[in-house]
Amino acid sequence: MNATFQVLSYVAITYFFFAGFIWKRINQMDHMQGMMSGMSMGMMIGLIGGLLFGDIYRGDLFYSTMLGMFVGGASGFIIGIPLSILSIVEGTLSGIMGGMMGAMLGEMVPTEKIEALLFFFIMLLTACMLLLTRLIETEKKETSTTRWHLIFLHPATPAVLLIGIFLWFQTLAFAPSTSDLPSQHSTILGNNLVKEVNFTAVDFSYQPSQVMIKKNIPIKVTFQNDGTVEHNIEIVSNGKIMIVSESIKGHQHSEKVQLHAKSGESAESVWEATEEGTYQYYCTIPGHKESGMIGNLIVM
């Protein structure tokens, strides 16, 4: 089962479990508990959804932001429906804010670091639900002595559940999404079969943000600048990636391979990697790398 699907399934199941828990206890909850529940769930679901959408739709921040806002706002709204108008408003607004922030993080954070950030948000979501559930249960007027109730209120239960989630998350193998895989074709250069890899630069990201190639096999690289300002792409490989041939728009350095293009233009060259490893590529124009123009070239 895909790791992302497992994570989304976990978030959906725990969210609807918590929503059902809240709905069944509306008569014993005060307004403050209702607002805390709606705001916490709206914010966390919005952050997680926005983060995933921002990573999937890199380069289209408007679209990923709208999706993140919708998911977060709807989550806060659903929690607050049986509680009060104030809980609905607070939950919806918190969800919208969480979706916006999550989408920006997904756009700006490098793909290889999304998994760590997602893990942090999943743990935080679980901790919030455990704390809110415990708070509501301990303030019940009727004291329950069922086995489930005693186990749930045991101080060690949250720690055991969080450790279990941590161990489960370590078993997940996150594969690159289809949007991160390069567009590759074959062409003939001289007597060699060359793979084609197309990079597209926008303001401010690369498509794709992760590329996998084979060592000792030439690849024809096309760098297309669809942004509104000039961009470049540079790989620091300490000489392990070389230019076989290049267009007049390409550049070559002793330890760096770079292509540069103004807005609406493109550049081409043929590269060849001699050693396996992961090599970072980014835009060297000041401020562009820090804005999210970064990716990985994986040589296998």
pLDDT in tens, 147-202: 555 565 667 777 777 788 778 777 765 544 444 444 444 454 444 545 788 889 98
**Are 96 and 33 in a shared domain?**
yes
The pLDDT value recorded for residue 211 is 83
Tell me the residue length of the chain.
Answer: 300
**Are 16 and 109 in a shared domain?**
yes
Residue-range definition of the domain harbouring residue 206: 178-299
**Are 143 and 185 in a shared domain?**
no
Spatial distance between the Cα atoms of 282 and 295, rounded to a whole number of angstroms = 6
Spatial distance between the Cα atoms of 127 and 286, rounded to a whole number of angstroms = 40
pLDDT at 250 over 70: no
Q: What are the beta bridge partners of residue 299?
A: 213, 277
User: Inter-axis angle of helices 61-80 and 3-24, to 10 degrees?
Assistant: 30
**Are 127 and 188 in a shared domain?**
no
The pLDDT value recorded for residue 191 is 46
**Are 22 and 160 in a shared domain?**
yes
Q: How many domains does the chain have?
A: 2
**Are 90 and 190 in a shared domain?**
no
**Are 295 and 219 in a shared domain?**
yes
**Are 134 and 246 in a shared domain?**
no
Highest mean pLDDT among 93-107, 147-161, 236-250: 93-107
Long-range contacts of 251-260 (CB under 8 A, 24+ apart): 258/232, 258/233, 258/234, 258/284, 259/199, 259/221, 259/223, 259/232, 259/233, 259/234, 260/223, 260/230, 260/231, 260/232
Query: Which of 154, 170, 186 is where one domain is finished?
Result: 170
- Quickly state the pLDDT bin for 70 (edges 50, 70, 90): very high
**Are 183 and 106 in a shared domain?**
no
147 versus 241: the higher-pLDDT residue is 241
**Are 141 and 160 in a shared domain?**
yes
**Are 9 and 25 in a shared domain?**
yes
